[in-house]
Amino acid sequence: MIAWATAAPAIGAAFVASTVEVVEAFTIVLAVASVRGWRPALSGAAAALGVLALVVAGLGPLLNLVPLHALQLVIGVLLLLFGLGWLRKAVLRAAGLMALHDEAAIYTRESARIGGEVRSAAAANGVAAMASFQAVLLEGLEVVFIVLAVGAGRGLMIPASLGALAAFFAVMTFGLLVRKPLAKVPENTLKFGVGVMLSAFGVFWTSEGLGAPWPGDDWALFGLAAAFLIVALALVAAVRPRPAVVTP
């Protein structure tokens, strides 16, 4: 039986991170569907999900062959690079120094791109299916990495996979109901949270990989996440441009 304190951060990190990626993939699949219909959109997405399933099936057993400390160290460093990079962008966006991710603009651009490439109906469907395939594959790879990263270090693949699956079904259900780009998802807030959690996981696994267990064991993850959250919020305040003072 996996302890709640151990499983909760893995489920939460996988769920929130996957939500962000699935929203991005869904925007392009929806754009494809609006231009060429659901058939090429869903066939491209299904093919990409098949490739991703093969990647997971291939990588999963390989991870069991790597010694645990080496696995924790490698995954910890990769998580640190990924998490700190994501947190850096989220801080800059929150401070107004980087443009926010605009799903509505991406939807419009992708619709125009796919529509503009139309030659014959068959060719157009091929282009549409490829666009859908590419979007789901690229965003899905990030989901696969996150699930492997937060799950493989301590036998948490099932909770992490459940978090990702829950995100997939939540976004799909909501997206298919509204049939519009999910522009109202507070994406930068989610990315901020994901950056905090991935960075905390990165520090935790890297240290464990170096043979340094944290006091409180898995509960230390919450403390590390709190530390990154406080630092990131302080950085937002520090770099946010101040309004110019107008002197009379």
Minimum CB–partner distance for residue 131 and another protein (Å): 11
Report how many residues bind another protein under the rule CB under 8 A: 41
Minimum CB–partner distance for residue 178 and another protein (Å): 28
Judged by DSSP in three states, 61 sits in helix
Residue with smaller CB distance to another protein, 49 or 141: 141
> Per CB under 8 A, which region of 59-67, 150-158, 161-169, 210-218 contacts another protein?
210-218
Token readout for 228 is 């990154």
What values do phi and psi take at 181, rounded to 5?
-60, 140
Residue 233 in the binding site for another protein (CB under 8 A): no
Binding marks (x or -) toward another protein, 104..143, rule CB under 8 A? --------------------------x--xx--xx--xx-
Query: What is residue 245's DSSP assignment?
Result: P
Residue 20 in the binding site for another protein (CB under 8 A): no
CA angle 23, 153, 137 (to 5 degrees): 30
Distance CA 25, CA 212 (A): 38
Residue 228 in the binding site for another protein (CB under 8 A): yes
Q: How many DSSP H helices and E strands does the chain contain?
A: 8, 0
Residue 50 in the binding site for another protein (CB under 8 A): no
Q: What value does the CA radius of gyration of the chain take, rounded to a whole number of Å?
A: 20
> Per CB under 8 A, which region of 72-80, 104-112, 154-162, 170-178 contacts another protein?
72-80
The enclosing H or E element of 93 equals helix 68-94
Are 235 and 91 spatial neighbours (Cβ–Cβ below 8 Å)? Answer: yes
Token readout for 22 is 């699935």
| Residues near another protein (CB under 8 A) | 73, 77-78, 80-82, 84-85, 87-88, 91-92, 95, 97-98, 130, 133-134, 137-138, 141-142, 145, 199, 202-203, 206-207, 210-212, 214, 224, 227-228, 231-232, 235, 238-239, 241
